[in-house]
């Protein structure tokens, strides 16, 4: 009886995370169809653009040129490049660029230690004088209207955070990039509905902004993508999504690169599961409780849910036709995913099976790293995304 309950609870987690929650949002989107994103394009506060870089000599010059090409009033923008203990030519390139553009309010801040992106942001932010902080990665290129679009969404006092739309510019070049892009587009569709109803559960490090007065120094192991929307929601503020604020980036072009990125993303996975339990009180957190459970907690539990479903199916296969079919179905799925990884077939369905299995494996690696104390705030960036 207990094992059957565990099986169905785990099956629900998988189904809800991979399809049920998305379907429920579509229904909610129709119910709340009159709620739209509010903007004020006449709102022009002072802005501090914060770029974090660690050994980005291959892309930093393009980023600096790109970030200057915006439609926001130039006299209201300052730039802070936070060097996370760079050991290549990044600092030299930035210094030369600043000297060549004396008309721009641009400074280079060098972190004293290599403690990762969040720590560099915590330190560099103390130099920011802007009312709004616009933060971005060195390999992400902004659309001309990106800054204006982000700022225009701070129309209400309870809006503390705004994230934009990241577009993968190499989605059609290979199966890995295509799979990530497909997954990402689906995720963005969910965020848009969450944002229109109330608040989102996660942002994106490539393009986002927050009120300087609301900034909080998170621990270096945490990332703003997940921690900021959660922190603001717990404190009665909103994090929203603006699809018109666009940035462009390359997705990982190899399964190995994407796997490393997923492992890094899951370095606080156990903490995120605990966070989900803390916000289950719908009376206190409203829609955010529902959004976080479906969009975050269920996804963070996929590694455990799949293990439970497989183990119970294995143990009961001899006595039950249902569990035997379940075991065979799961086994075939995993075998096909593994074979396709090595065969590199150009089949979208097979590639999504491989991508999904890789994601679950990366979650397991993240859990193991968390339990063994090997999770770190720093990581090796994927070369194929530069």
305: helix, coil or strand?
helix
**Is the pLDDT confidence value at 383 over 80?**
no
What's the pLDDT score for residue 251? 81
- Statement: residue 321 has pLDDT above 90: yes
Q: Which residue has the higher pLDDT, 174 or 128?
A: 128
Q: Does residue 177 surpass a pLDDT of 80?
A: no
Give the separation between CA 13 and CA 335, rounded to whole angstroms.
22
Is the pLDDT at 183 greater than 90? The verdict is no
Rounded mean pLDDT of 26-31?
A: 96
pLDDT at 170: 85
- The arithmetic mean of pLDDT across residues 191-201, rounded, is 97
More confident residue, 178 or 19: 19
pLDDT at 173 over 80: no
Mean pLDDT of 194-213: 97
Closest C-alpha to 28, from 277, 290, 285, 230: 290
For position 258, what pLDDT does the model report? 85
pLDDT score for 75: 97
C-alpha 195/C-alpha 198 separation (Å) is 5
Q: What is the pLDDT of residues 94-149, one digit of tens each?
A: 999 999 999 999 999 999 889 999 999 999 999 999 999 999 999 999 999 999 99
pLDDT at 210: 98
Residue with tokens 């289950």: 280
* For range 302-314, the mean pLDDT: 98
In this predicted structure, what is the pLDDT of residue 343? 84
226 and 272 Cβ atoms separated by less than 8 Å: yes
pLDDT at 91 over 80: yes
* Confidence at 172, pLDDT banded by 50, 70, 90: confident
Rounded Cα distance between 150 and 242, Å, is 7
Predicted confidence (pLDDT) at residue 237 exceeds the cutoff of 80: yes
Question: Residue 337: pLDDT band by 50, 70, 90 thresholds?
Answer: very high
């Amino acid at each position: 009886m207990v094992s059957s309950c565990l099986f169905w609870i785990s099956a629900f987690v998988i189904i809800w995370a991979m399809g049920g929650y998305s379907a429920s949002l579509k229904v909610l989107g129709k119910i709340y169809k009159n709620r739209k994103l509010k903007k004020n394009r006449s709102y022009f506060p002072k802005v501090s653009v914060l770029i974090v870089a660690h050994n980005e000599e291959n892309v930093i010059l393009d980023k600096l040129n790109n970030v200057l090409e915006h439609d926001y009033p130039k006299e209201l923008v300052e730039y802070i490049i936070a060097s996370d203990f760079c050991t290549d030519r990044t600092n030299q390139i930035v210094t030369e660029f600043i000297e060549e553009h004396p008309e721009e309010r641009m400074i280079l801040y060098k972190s004293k230690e290599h403690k990762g992106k969040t720590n560099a942001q915590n330190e560099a932010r103390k130099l920011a004088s802007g009312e709004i902080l616009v933060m971005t990665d060195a390999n992400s290129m902004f659309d001309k209207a990106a800054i204006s679009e982000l700022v225009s969404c701070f129309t209400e006092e309870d809006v503390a955070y705004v994230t934009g739309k990241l577009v993968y510019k190499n989605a059609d070049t290979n199966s890995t990039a295509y799979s990530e892009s497909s997954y990402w587009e689906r995720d963005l569709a969910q965020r848009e509905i969450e944002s229109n109803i109330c608040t989102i559960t996660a942002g994106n490090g490539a393009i986002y902004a927050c009120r300087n007065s609301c900034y909080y120094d998170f621990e270096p192991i945490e990332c703003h993508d997940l921690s900021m929307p959660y922190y603001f929601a717990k404190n009665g503020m909103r994090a929203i999504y603006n699809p018109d604020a666009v940035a462009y980036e390359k997705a990982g072009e190899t399964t190995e690169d994407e796997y490393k990125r997923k492992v890094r993303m899951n370095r606080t996975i156990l903490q995120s599961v605990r966070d989900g339990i803390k916000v289950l009180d719908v009376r206190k957190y409203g829609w955010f409780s529902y959004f976080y459970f479906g969009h975050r907690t269920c996804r963070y539990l996929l590694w455990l849910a799949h293990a439970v479903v497989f183990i119970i199916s294995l143990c009961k296969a001899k006595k039950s036709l249902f569990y035997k079919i379940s075991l065979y179905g799961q086994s075939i799925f995993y075998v096909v995913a593994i074979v396709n990884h090595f065969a590199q077939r150009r089949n979208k369905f097979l590639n999504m099976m491989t991508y999904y299995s890789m994601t679950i494996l990366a979650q397991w690696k993240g859990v193991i790293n968390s339990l063994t104390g090997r999770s770190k705030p720093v990581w090796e960036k994927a070369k194929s995304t530069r």
